Structure 1
Amino acid sequence: MAQGASAVAQKSGENLLFLTDDQIRKGIEAMFFAYRGFTADPDRILEEQGYGRAHHRAIHFIHRAPGTTVNNLLAILGVTKQSLNRVLRSLIEDGLVESRVGNRDKRERHLFLTETGAALEQKLSDAQRERMRAAYRAAGPVAVAGFRQVLEAMMDPEMQRHFNRLTDSAR
């Protein structure tokens, strides 16, 4: 970054330390509307198959951590066991997810996407990656790094640990 640009970025960053309630509210509203955009394309794809966002989240995290246990997925998603069981039941019955008994602990269920599940995950992720890619290109690398810092700073410690495990396993 050029020296002048660095000074401007630093000065604007300092200004961000003193945000007004109105500026914070605008950021909150921007997150709501951005989330709507981020989920719009996958929602359309899911609706065609009779699924919702809970199905998407389960598919996403099973893809990211093949063989994850039901208990681990419960912790990541922060939903009730009953709610997750309903989602998993439909995904298993429809042939998108496979549940395997644990080798060490027969009570554990390990979850894997089937070929059909992986194809749906790819379609959903492609739509979101395209939107993220376009937004990142428009914002530039400094904004992208700052955005990620803000998101990570908003995470509760337990969610930060799950996030770190997923990002560390991707390396």
Structure 2
Amino acid sequence: MTDLKSLANPLFLREDELRQAIELLFYAYRDFTRGPDEILDRYGFGRAHHRALHFIGGNPGITVAELLAILRITKQSLSRVLSAMIEGGFVRQQQGTRDRRQRQLFLTDQGKHLERQIATVQQAKVAEAYREAGAEAVAGYRKVLSGLIDAQERPAILRAIQRR
């Protein structure tokens, strides 16, 4: 855990403080993804599959175009990810209800099970960190993460997250 003195430091925007924050993000991400990586590896999946599972699971019926906009990956990359998950029986796609050209995505029961396994591991990790930090720190953490999201997209993203 970072030194609590630095939290009260009015010079928290100094280069060394910012570098420490970035380094903490790298280490936190490494450990936050370790459990899911181990689970996904059993299926031959990676982090792109994880992100797709997460957003399809949280947004049943999401279109391929909407998923592309969230993930910001190429169509070719998403196509590889979706093909593997569809062939493996984790995702199903159907023609759009309003626009027949759209492809809507849904998790199958197998996909829901995999997404739940991964979410359980990550939720436990976040819950532990939240308990250690306390409510005030959690509120600050959310503000910082929100601040890292592109300012133009932030309101829409925060609304979407709060709806779930």
Question: What TM-score do the two structures reach when normalised by structure 2?
Answer: 0.91
Equivalent in the alignment of 1:148: 142
Runs of 4+ in 1 over 3 A off after TM superposition: 12-18
Q: Which amino acid aligns with 1:102?
A: G
Deviations 1:62-121 (A, max 9, x none): 011110000000000010000001000010111100101012211100000000000000
Instruction: Give the conservation status (yes or no) of the 8 Å contact 2:12–2:18.
Output: no
Equivalent in the alignment of 2:3: none
- Secondary structure of the 2:38 match is helix
Is 1:114 aligned to 2:115, yes or no?
A: no
Question: What TM-score do the two structures reach when normalised by structure 1?
Answer: 0.88
Q: Which amino acid aligns with 1:142?
A: E
Deviations 1:27-46 (A, max 9, x none): 00000000000000000000
**2: distance between equivalents of 1:131 and 1:53?**
17
Identity of aligned residues (%): 49
Whose Rg is larger?
1
**2: distance between equivalents of 1:93 and 1:159?**
33
CA RMSD of aligned residues (A): 1.8
Instruction: Give the conservation status (yes or no) of the 8 Å contact 1:64–1:166.
Output: no
Q: How does 1:1-150 map to 2 (within 5 A)?
A: 15-16=9-10, 18-150=12-144
- Secondary structure of the 2:106 match is strand
**Larger helix proportion, structure 1 or 2?**
1
Question: Quick one: structure 1 residues 20 and 107, their matched pair in 2 at CA, closer, same or farther if it must change by over 3 Å?
Answer: same
Aligned length: 160
Instruction: Give the conservation status (yes or no) of the 8 Å contact 2:48–2:81.
Output: yes
Instruction: Give the conservation status (yes or no) of the 8 Å contact 1:96–1:118.
Output: yes
Instruction: Give the conservation status (yes or no) of the 8 Å contact 1:76–1:159.
Output: no
Instruction: Give the conservation status (yes or no) of the 8 Å contact 1:62–1:68.
Output: yes
